[in-house]
Amino acid sequence: MDIAIIDYGVGNLRSAEKAFQHLGFDAALTKDPAELMSARKIVLPGVGAFGECMERLYEHEFVEPLLKEVHAGKPLLGICVGMQMLFDGSEEAPGVPGLGLIKGIVKKFSGEEFGSSSGLKVPQIGWNALSYPDDSKRHALFAGLPVGTHVYFVHSFYAQPDDPADVLAYSDYGGEFCASAGRGNVMGVQFHPEKSQRAGLSILANFSKA
């Protein structure tokens, strides 16, 4: 297959598979870690809790082959909790290490900067606009998507990269937060592109064609 979507028993992953297939790409769910070797690109979806997702990824023996392929240069896209798992760890599961592909920690929406005193609801559920650190040097993942493009979020936690240069896109929910992060061949989006209609399909197509 061209694009391997890791199926490690967490949530409904068919929507991501169907989105890639709708775009005409050879993408399929895989429960076989060995198939990561033959794929051209890898997608790591994720829904639910950080700790459980990491546990399931280890249980299904994906961690070692995934890291091997990524360190060899294979492109990886993490979606929602899949993006959070790219980081060192999460406040949601203290002591549980992430994949460590992007340096930083995943934090919970809290504090005045994220509206805890202004009545904003957590989790954030719904459509929110994207902005970019430098619109003149926008990452290829967001080619063709102007500032203000709306995508669909469902989350209580957000990633905070150690290096601001690893932020690919921002959004705002009572305060600015990282909506997408990446370093080299590793990319992640906190929102659900497979639920973000035309904008989301464009992002998946950009990842697939790059």
> Over the stretch 23-71, which tens digit does the pLDDT of each residue have?
999 999 999 999 999 999 999 999 889 999 999 999 999 999 999 999 9
Question: In sequence order, which residues have a C-beta less than 8 Å from that of residue 143 and are 6 or more positions away?
Answer: 202, 206
Q: Longest Cα pair distance anywhere in the chain, in angstroms?
A: 50
Mean pLDDT over 133-138 rounds to 87
Question: In sequence order, which residues have a C-beta less than 8 Å from that of residue 152 and are 6 or more positions away?
Answer: 126, 127, 191, 192, 195, 196, 200
Give the pLDDT of residue 114: 56
Tokens of 3: 């694009």
What positions carry a catalytic annotation? 80, 192, 194
Q: How far is CA 180 from CA 2, 65, 117, 189, 194, in A?
A: 23, 24, 26, 4, 15
Radius of gyration of the chain (CA): 16
Q: What percent of the chain has pLDDT over 90?
A: 82
pLDDT tier at 111 (50, 70, 90 boundaries)?
A: low
Beta bridge partners of 80: none
Higher pLDDT, 26 or 1: 26
160-182 per-position pLDDT tens digit: 999 999 999 999 998 899 999 99
Please give the mean pLDDT across all residues of the chain.
93
Q: Phi, psi (5° rounding) for residue 15?
A: -65, -35
Give the pLDDT of residue 113: 54
Whether the Cβ atoms of residue 129 and residue 148 lie closer than 8 Å to each other: yes
Domains of the chain: 3-209 (3.40.50.880)
